[in-house]
Chain A
């Protein structure tokens, strides 16, 4: 693997891994405070979800948001002229 490709993979791995850790903290804090079943009842659209689905989707959503956030920041920094 040449150097450039490798660096890209390192960036992807770092973004995924750090977002994963932060999503874990965020999901723990969030679901210790709110019960996904109660949240589903309050939804503005009919949402029938059990707790495992709530936790899993919540975690994955946090993760996805953090990954998007990190990638946009990286892209902005790279594309900037300081």
Chain B
């Protein structure tokens, strides 16, 4: 079988097959990928352990319906901010894709990053690609069993650590680890730890590149963000072809030949098992392993590097590449403008975020109460959500109903201001009273002004409701 046939067979085997054994490779881009793995996974595993004052710095406290991110606390009402953030992330992905192609896939996608670390573990235990293939085809010896068990133990432990850390973003991780260590983890936390561990194991240990090839929507639609100036991993057809190798290369010394020595290493290192020499394919996650390995080969045969390189369609068709051409394109600029607008909107929404929220509800049981002194009283339920970080005291006043007075009647009567703890909801009751002869209709608009009394910039919120009383008589009395 010639090497080309061999590659073709390997390729079709890869499509319906079993397992791809990517060959290990060193080089500039693989170092960059390793750095990304350390940075991203480091951040993932360490972030829940960071404390902020009394609490975990990053905690999506679902049971309390509050998200803490360092100094910020988000409420369900702040959901639009989260939506904005997600839209921003999406546009940023478009932006970077338009400039640099699938950098996300190659360097930052959790799927790639976790797969990478699972492959590292596999290599520690089972050795190089050749050793792995040999082991896979060998009969079940003690040595094979031993290696497989060690690998699975490593994978499962790492997956469990990943699952535990994931749940640690949603409930305090210190307590979670304590519970896990004493086997007291139960209920939903146990379920989600196991679920996420299983997902990690399945995606990074078992499915790997198949997630990108068959299951990822982004892999299919990313080409819509591509244009002639987007960076892609490409084989220099003009320079490389006609490819030839070994004996044949020497025998046909007189015939014209390209720089490609047809060693097949670019196929062997590919985590998705494609042959980059066949042109851009949607399976390519732009990990640049083929660039690194081909550069090493070119170095060893004393040919210039970059037979496979980051390139653009425009460059491939002979145009000069200039930086402005790469960056100042309508597509890139459009994404940049949308992104900047969203960042500005997000920033100002965050800064202008109210520190409180107020809901006013009328007492549903009684419309009004008449005292013996001829005073009409209405009671209102006032729910104040204290979204600030301090214990706040709230003052209540009234507008649009002349002659009326208002006071807190719960939690205590006759207090000047009602206290609500930081991050809590206060269920308060206010009583509005007015002499009956000052009313001029059965139901009147009433406007409450709830004001913060503490903090650097106390704010106020106006809330409207209706004040009910008896029907006023023409002579000014009441019936």
Which A residues have a C-beta under 8 Å from some C-beta of B?
A: 1, 3, 6, 10, 13-14, 17-18, 28, 31-33, 35, 50-53, 55-56
**Contact in complex: B63, A50 (CB < 8 Å):** yes
Within 8 A of A (CB), among B261-284: none
Compute how far the CA of A35 lies from the CA of B65 in the bound complex, rounded to whole angstroms: 8
Contact of A14 among B82, B188, B215 (CB under 8 A): B215
Q: CB-defined interface of B364-379 with A at 8 Å, one 1/0 digit per residue? A: 0000000000000000
| B76 in contact (CB, < 8 A) | yes
Could you list some 25 contacts between A and B, CB below 8 A?
Answer: A1-B16, A1-B17, A1-B18, A3-B16, A6-B16, A10-B210, A13-B207, A13-B214, A14-B214, A14-B215, A17-B211, A18-B217, A28-B82, A31-B76, A32-B79, A33-B79, A50-B63, A51-B62, A51-B63, A52-B187, A52-B188, A55-B62, A56-B188, A56-B191, A56-B192
Compute how far the CA of A10 lies from the CA of B79 in the bound complex, rounded to whole angstroms: 35
Compute how far the CA of A13 lies from the CA of B16 in the bound complex, rounded to whole angstroms: 15
A80 → chain B, closest Cβ, in Å? 23
Which B residues have a C-beta under 8 Å from some C-beta of A?
A: 16-18, 62-63, 65, 76, 79, 82, 187-189, 191-192, 207, 210-211, 214-215, 217
Compute how far the CA of A17 lies from the CA of B213 in the bound complex, rounded to whole angstroms: 13
Contact partners of A1 in chain B: CB under 8 A: 16-18
Contact partners of B17 in chain A: CB under 8 A: 1
Contact partners of B187 in chain A: CB under 8 A: 52
Compute how far the CA of A14 lies from the CA of B212 in the bound complex, rounded to whole angstroms: 11
User: Top 10 A-B pairs ranked by shortest CB distance?
Assistant: A32-B79, A52-B188, A17-B215, A10-B214, A51-B63, A56-B188, A3-B16, A32-B76, A14-B215, A6-B16
Compute how far the CA of A33 lies from the CA of B191 in the bound complex, rounded to whole angstroms: 25
**Contact in complex: A18, B62 (CB < 8 Å):** no
Given A3-B16, A10-B214, A18-B217, do A52 and B76 touch, yes or no (CB 8 Å)? no
Compute how far the CA of A56 lies from the CA of B211 in the bound complex, rounded to whole angstroms: 25
Compute how far the CA of A13 lies from the CA of B214 in the bound complex, rounded to whole angstroms: 8
Compute how far the CA of A53 lies from the CA of B187 in the bound complex, rounded to whole angstroms: 9
How many A-B pairs have beta carbons closer than 8 Å: the answer is: 40
Given A1-B18, A13-B207, A32-B79, do A53 and B217 touch, yes or no (CB 8 Å)? no
**Contact in complex: B215, A52 (CB < 8 Å):** no
Contact partners of B79 in chain A: CB under 8 A: 32-33
Compute how far the CA of A55 lies from the CA of B189 in the bound complex, rounded to whole angstroms: 12
* Sample of 12 further A-B pairs with CB below 8 A, known A1-B18, A50-B63: A6-B16, A13-B210, A13-B215, A18-B215, A18-B217, A32-B79, A33-B76, A33-B79, A51-B63, A52-B62, A52-B63, A53-B188
Contact partners of B189 in chain A: CB under 8 A: 52
Compute how far the CA of A82 lies from the CA of B145 in the bound complex, rounded to whole angstroms: 52
What's the dominant secondary structure at chain A's contact region? helix
Compute how far the CA of A79 lies from the CA of B252 in the bound complex, rounded to whole angstroms: 56
Compute how far the CA of A50 lies from the CA of B171 in the bound complex, rounded to whole angstroms: 15
Compute how far the CA of A10 lies from the CA of B63 in the bound complex, rounded to whole angstroms: 36
For residue A13, which residue of chain B has the nearest CB?
Answer: B215
Contact partners of A17 in chain B: CB under 8 A: 211, 215
B16 → chain A, closest Cβ, in Å? 5
B446 → chain A, closest Cβ, in Å? 27
Contact partners of A33 in chain B: CB under 8 A: 76, 79
Compute how far the CA of A52 lies from the CA of B215 in the bound complex, rounded to whole angstroms: 29
Interface centre among B17, B63, B207 (most CB of A within 10 A): B63
A68 → chain B, closest Cβ, in Å? 19
Compute how far the CA of A31 lies from the CA of B464 in the bound complex, rounded to whole angstroms: 28
For residue B207, which residue of chain A has the nearest CB?
Answer: A13
Contact partners of A18 in chain B: CB under 8 A: 215, 217
Contact partners of B76 in chain A: CB under 8 A: 31-33, 35
A58 → chain B, closest Cβ, in Å? 11
Compute how far the CA of A4 lies from the CA of B211 in the bound complex, rounded to whole angstroms: 18
B340 → chain A, closest Cβ, in Å? 25
Compute how far the CA of A68 lies from the CA of B188 in the bound complex, rounded to whole angstroms: 24
Contact partners of B191 in chain A: CB under 8 A: 56
Contact partners of A14 in chain B: CB under 8 A: 214-215
B213 → chain A, closest Cβ, in Å? 9
For residue B187, which residue of chain A has the nearest CB?
Answer: A52
Contact partners of A10 in chain B: CB under 8 A: 210, 214
Contact partners of A50 in chain B: CB under 8 A: 63
Compute how far the CA of A10 lies from the CA of B188 in the bound complex, rounded to whole angstroms: 29
Compute how far the CA of A15 lies from the CA of B289 in the bound complex, rounded to whole angstroms: 30
Contact partners of A55 in chain B: CB under 8 A: 62
For residue B189, which residue of chain A has the nearest CB?
Answer: A52
For residue B217, which residue of chain A has the nearest CB?
Answer: A18
Contact partners of A13 in chain B: CB under 8 A: 207, 210, 214-215
Contact partners of A3 in chain B: CB under 8 A: 16
Compute how far the CA of A1 lies from the CA of B215 in the bound complex, rounded to whole angstroms: 19
A61 → chain B, closest Cβ, in Å? 14
Contact partners of A28 in chain B: CB under 8 A: 82
Compute how far the CA of A13 lies from the CA of B211 in the bound complex, rounded to whole angstroms: 9
Compute how far the CA of A28 lies from the CA of B187 in the bound complex, rounded to whole angstroms: 21
Contact partners of B210 in chain A: CB under 8 A: 10, 13
